[in-house]
Amino acid sequence: MDTKILIVDDETLLVKGLKYSLEQDGYNIDTAYNGNEAIEKTNNQKYNLIILDLMLPGIDGLEVCQKVREKSQVPIIMLTAKGEDINKILGLEYGADDYLTKPFNILELKARIKAILRRANTQSTKIGEQVIQIDNFKINTLGRKVTVDTKEVNLTAKEFDLLLLLASNPGKVYTREQLLEKIWGYEYFGDLRTVDVHIRRLREKIEKDSSQAEYILTKWGVGYYFRKK
C-alpha cells in the first residue's frame, strides 16, 4: 500500500533532506512550509502520517494539529525545539501522538514512523472482542470509537490504543516502558513522559473526576492498570 506522509516545516533544507531520505525508503512524501498550507492540504488529501513542526510562521503547529484533529485521527509526530514543555506539546487537546526534539537523528525518526504505521496497520487484529462494555461507557474495537453515556468521546489514535490495551487486560499492571513499547512500538527511543501525558489526558476524557480515577489506576512505583470489574 502506498504510504503517504506530509512533512510540515518552514526550514527548507530540513524538509528537502527529510523528503529525500524518506522517499528512499519508499514513502510518498508531500510537503508544506507553513500552517495555512498544511491545513489546506490535509483538508483536500488523506495522509497516513504527518510530521509537524511546532514553530511555524502564522498558524503554529499546535493550531494545525488541533485543526487536523477536528476531522482526522491520522498519526502526528510533532517536531519541537529543546526546552519546550512536553505537557504542552502533547497537550492532547491538540492531539499529537508523539514528538521529537530538534536536532534529531533521521534513524530515530524512521524508527518512530515505522512503529506508528505498524501499530496502525495491526491494531484491530489483536483484539477478539468487538465491543467492550465498562459501566456507562463502551469501547468499539473495530470502529475505534468510545462512548460515555451514549456520547462519543474524541480520542487520539494513541489514546484509543492505550485505553484498549488496558481495558482488555483488567488488573494487569504495565510499566511505562512496557506501554511505550506496546503502544508506540519502540523500546529505546521514547520518552517515558509521553506515557504519563497520555494517561492524564485519557483520565480527563473518560473519568468522572480525573483526580480520583476509578478506571485507569496507578500502581505506585510500578505503572498503570485498568481496574477489575
Which among 61, 116, 69, 56 is positioned nearest to 89, based on CA atoms? Answer: 61
Which grid coordinates are listed for 9? 516545516
| Helix, strand, or coil (residue 90) | coil
For the stretch 130-153, pLDDT in tens is: 778 888 788 887 778 888 888 888
Q: Residue 168: which H helix or E strand, with range?
A: helix 157-168
Name the pTM for this structure: 0.63
User: In this structure, are 168 and 65 located in the same domain?
Assistant: no
Q: What is the pLDDT of residue 51?
A: 96
Last residue of a domain, one of 71, 103, 123: 123
Residue 79 sits in which domain range?
4-123
- The count of structural domains within the chain is 2
User: In this structure, are 174 and 205 located in the same domain?
Assistant: yes
User: In this structure, are 136 and 156 located in the same domain?
Assistant: yes
Convert 93-157 into a string of H (helix), E (strand) and C (coil): CCCCCEEEECCCCHHHHHHHHHHHHHHHHHHHHCCCCCEEEECCEEEECCCCEEEECCEEECCCH
Percent of the chain clearing pLDDT 70 (strictly above): 86
Residue 66, amino acid: Q
For the chain, the C-alpha Rg in angstroms (whole number) is: 18
Last residue of a domain, one of 123, 138, 169: 123
Q: CATH no. for residue 101?
A: 3.40.50.2300
Q: What is the pLDDT of residue 87?
A: 55
